[in-house]
A and B are shown apart, each in its own frame.
Chain A
Amino acid sequence: MIELTSRISFYSLFLMGLFGLSACSTSRTDLTSNDPLPVYDCESVVFMARSYHTGIQTEINFTICVIDSLDSGRNGINIMPGEQFVDAMYPWFEPRTAPNNISGLPKLMNNELIARRMRETGVRYVVWLDGNTDRPNGGGSLSCAAGPGGAGCFGFAWWESKSDYDAVVWDLEDGKEAGNIATTVSGTSYMPAIVIPIPMIARTKATACKDLSVQLKDFIAGAQTTGD
């Protein structure tokens, strides 16, 4: 019995190795902007998730993933933590009070207190992250059981994932929207199980994070400048 289980597990691992990377996904990224953004060493960028008052908020781990990608490497960008910026601007960038679009910014900056604090923070760009990962469809059946002789799973399950995110970049100095990057990644994950489940996961969120970060880095850090 043990030998049979080992053999099935071996074949399962073999199948996993064979199909392990076969979960497929498609990706599309669009960048709408005029020119690369100049960002000086003394300036920083802040990433903010859209308010939960206006709908589903972007997952925290996605925001962290984008920040980590941009913060690392040779052309790392000076990034101010979102919480620090929100606290510095309290109460004007709270979920309820943050401007929904760029047209709300001039009114805010007309207030000398707010404009002065904004200059003090050194933040040049605010990047608003919006979107989320959804599972629009799925199916199949997979069941697991355990007994005195061992445990195992049998069946087949699948599900679709769609990661739809966009990053809108506001230039606080010019008071205009500097660019917009949208990425959509769709994929289907499969999980056949013969004694042990063999996950073939389409990592749509990770792909979306990578695609968005690459574009943002080219867009912002690509023109990183020294001086003041």
Chain B
Amino acid sequence: MIKRLREPLRTLRRRCGAIAATLALAGCGATVNVPLTPLPDALVEPLPLTAGIRMQETLTTYRHEETLPTGEEYAINVGPAAELALSATFEDMFARTVSVPVGEPVPNGIDLLIDSDIDALEFALPSQTVTEDYAVWIKFKFKVYDSSGALQSEFPLPAYGKATRDSIVSGQNAALTSAANLALRDAAVLLLTRFHKQSLLAGNQIPEPAPENEVLPVAEDRATTQPAESETDVGAMSVPPTGEQFL
């Protein structure tokens, strides 16, 4: 009789052990690799410009690590998804885009160069907000250069995404992933709808498309002092001194 019961008891113990281990792991935080949910084609008229797109390595490999006061450790890998989201968005925004690797000179024939980076990422869990929501904030940092490589403007872009855990089954990883994806989509929406107000294109100063394979001369007076719109929450645009060279 005892022998007959031994095997089921062993199985039960194994299953209980597995459940306990799962529960213990669930209390230890999470590692989230954010895959980008493809963005829809944007309903915007592309600007008739060729834009150079440069993604800093800190953006393409961005990983946020944080240990909460409770000891839970979280890691959110958002870099590759952010790179894809921004690339797709810039392709919608401009007639033509050219990828410009970090450290390489500005290629001929581009009208402007956009340098993208992530400044910070924060997240909030239901236990912190006393709601059922997971939230992710990503603060991007953009610099816009003209075709000669002179910095025209730089501005931060804080994006926000919020998701609710649908059920115990979907888990907090799915909710955090969803919140991060919504934050990336929010960043894309901000770029699509407000870039022209935040960058050198403010005040309809859309540069003339550069002739093919020709470097434009450095402009003497290229400072734009257009303030950020008060109702936007994109943040104020800071304008560097005229002629500041970054390349």
Contact = CB atoms under 8 A, between A and B. Distances in A.
Contact of A91 (B45, B160, B188): B188
B219 interface: no
A91 B43 contact: yes
B160 A97 contact: no
Interface in B14-68: 39-45
Given A52-B162, A53-B160, A96-B190, A90 B40 contact: yes
Q: How large is the interface on A (under 10, 10 to 19, 20 to 34, 35 or more residues)?
A: 10 to 19
Given A53-B160, A113-B45, A87 B189 contact: no
Contacts of B189: 90-91, 94, 96-97
Nearest to B188: A91
Contacts of B216: none
Given A52-B162, A60-B164, A113 B190 contact: no
B143 interface: no
A89 B166 CA distance: 25
Nearest to B131: A56
Residue among A87, A90, A92 with the highest chain B CB neighbour number at 10 A: A90
A91 B42 contact: yes
Contacts of B42: 90-91
Interface string A104-128: 0000000001100100000000000
Contacts of B166: 60
A96 B39 contact: no
Contacts of B41: 90
B186 A88 contact: no
Contacts of B11: none
A26 B231 CA distance: 41
Interface in A97-155: 97, 113-114, 117
A95 interface: yes
B186 A94 contact: yes
A61 to B, nearest CB: 9
Interface of B: 39-45, 160, 162, 164, 166, 185-186, 188-190, 192-193
Given A89-B43, A90-B39, A90-B189, 20 more contacts: A57-B162, A60-B164, A60-B166, A87-B40, A88-B40, A90-B40, A90-B41, A90-B42, A90-B43, A91-B43, A91-B188, A91-B192, A92-B43, A94-B189, A95-B186, A96-B189, A96-B190, A97-B193, A113-B43, A113-B45
16 contacts: A52-B162, A53-B160, A60-B164, A60-B166, A89-B43, A90-B39, A90-B41, A91-B192, A92-B43, A92-B193, A94-B185, A94-B186, A94-B189, A96-B189, A113-B43, A113-B45
